[in-house]
Structure 1
Amino acid sequence: MQRQDKRKGRQRLGLTYNKLWKLLIDKEMNKGALQREADLSPTTMSKLSKGLSVNTNTLVRICETLQCDISDITEISKNPTIERKEDRSNA
């Protein structure tokens, strides 16, 4: 079921990190190594794993660590696979 923005009647877009996980596999790197090398907190790693929003500076640090562009680790999706926590509580 697609989510609608109640205020404007528009479909909401979501940010996915699927490309990040694929890039880690290609670079033969696990999440723990990314966490250490990019100096990410366990909370931030949890948010990424759940598809939740993180700070833009965090995404930049990940890009610096992996030597890539932000478009290499994120993607805007019309059908995000993981709902945000607050969206679930409003259902």
Structure 2
Amino acid sequence: MIDLSFTYKPLWKLLIDKEMTKKQLMEETNISKSTMDKMGRNEKVSMEILDRLCSHFSCDVSDIIEHIDEVEKQ
């Protein structure tokens, strides 16, 4: 398994704040279940997906993903 240094926790928090389910997000942004599953495992997704999310929420990339410092991961 590839260990990437990013997390989608900001996106999940945003969904909670907007009272929105992952299913609603998938429908509104045309994101597949497999892509949503990848994000759930903190795996990489395309820049197109990140762009779609940012456009949907009118936000910056840092509002949906967060870089995890190597020290924090331990």
Flag whether TM exceeds 0.5 (same fold).
Answer: yes
Q: 1:23 aligns with which of 14, 26, 44?
A: 14
The percentage of aligned residue pairs carrying the same residue is 43
Across the aligned residues of Structure 1 and Structure 2, the Cα RMSD in angstroms comes to 1.9
Query: What runs of 5+ residues in structure 2 fail to find an aligned partner?
Result: none
Candidates 36, 52, 58, aligned match of 2:49? 58
Deviation at 1:44, TM superposition (A): 0.3
State the TM-score, normalizing by the size of structure 1.
0.70
SS at match of 2:67: strand
Task: Indicate if the aligned counterparts of 2:4 and 2:43 stay in contact, CA closer than 8 A.
Answer: no
Say which structure is richer in strand: 1
Number of the residue aligned with 2:66: 75
Q: Is the 8 A contact 2:5 2:68 kept in 1?
A: yes
The two structures have a TM-score, normalised by structure 2, of 0.85
How many residue pairs are counted as aligned between the two chains? 70
Q: Which of 1 and 2 has greater Rg?
A: 1
Runs of at least 5 residues in structure 1 that lack an aligned partner in the other structure: 1-11, 82-91
Structure with the largest fraction of helix: 2
- Residue 67 of structure 1: how far off its partner (Å): 1.7
Q: Structure 1 pair 55/29, CA: closer, same or farther in 2 (3 Å)?
A: same
